[in-house]
């Protein structure tokens, strides 16, 4: 009986002190994978967060939201058009920026499901955005948002607070520089 009581106490303590263990934890995918698969990558400050009640399908705490960012710097857009434009204009050292741009994400704020990101009002972030290809739930999205909207690819999609992004931004800039060199070499071969 004493053994059973000890087991029950240990079992209860285990669940009390390890409740966070059941929350989502992820090992971020390698940089190369995030960079290749993201449709847009940028830094920006959250302008506003709107709850989208029409997409909510339960009373679950994880609410669908539309987040509008004021973009500080674009590193990658859907077609890398800005990078190509800079190379064609021989602006090899020009930063890839588009001032007064906004970007809208449709996601959720909870991290328990691994499908959203716990964004905070007025927060500054490095964002990896992934385009929804069909009006159906993507594996990384809890809600059935319309096609051609963007999400963060879940908690493991690469998005981080700007204060934690220094090393990642260095990798991004190195990748952009590498792409510029390749495009310049291709342009020279065509001449």
* 102-117 pLDDT per residue, tens: 899 988 887 566 778 8
Q: Which domain holds residue 149?
A: 26-190
In the chain, what's the furthest Cα-to-Cα distance? 87
Is 21 domain-assigned? no
Is 107 domain-assigned? yes
Show the DSSP H helices in 65-156 as ranges.
Answer: 81-88
The closest of 113, 112, 109 to 123, measured between CA atoms, is: 109
Is 143 domain-assigned? yes
Is 8 domain-assigned? no
Q: What CATH number is attached to the domain comprising 93?
A: 2.40.50.120
In sequence order, the 6+-apart residues with CB closer than 8 A to the CB of 151 are: 105, 106, 107, 129, 130, 132, 138, 140, 141, 145, 157
Is 1 domain-assigned? no
pTM of the full structure? 0.73
Over residues 114-156, the pLDDT tens digits come to: 778 889 999 999 999 998 876 555 666 767 778 888 888 888 8
């Amino acid at each position: 009986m004493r053994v059973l009581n000890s087991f029950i106490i240990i079992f209860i303590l285990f669940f009390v002190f390890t409740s966070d263990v059941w929350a989502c934890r992820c090992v971020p995918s390698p940089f190369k994978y995030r960079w290749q698969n993201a449709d847009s990558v940028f830094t920006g400050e959250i302008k506003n967060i709107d709850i989208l009640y029409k997409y909510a399908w339960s009373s679950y705490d994880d609410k669908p939201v539309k987040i509008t960012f004021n973009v500080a710097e674009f590193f990658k857009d859907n077609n890398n058009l800005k990078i190509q434009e800079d190379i064609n204009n021989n602006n090899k050292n020009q930063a890839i920026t588009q001032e007064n741009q906004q970007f809208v994400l449709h996601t959720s704020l909870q991290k328990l499901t691994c499908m959203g990101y716990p964004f905070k009002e007025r927060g500054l972030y490095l964002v990896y955005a992934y385009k929804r290809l069909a009006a159906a739930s993507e594996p990384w999205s809890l809600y059935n948002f319309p096609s051609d909207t963007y999400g963060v690819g879940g908690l493991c999609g690469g998005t981080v607070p700007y204060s934690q992004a220094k090393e990642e931004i260095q990798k991004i800039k190195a990748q952009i520089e590498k792409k510029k060199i390749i495009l310049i070499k291709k342009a020279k071969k065509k001449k």
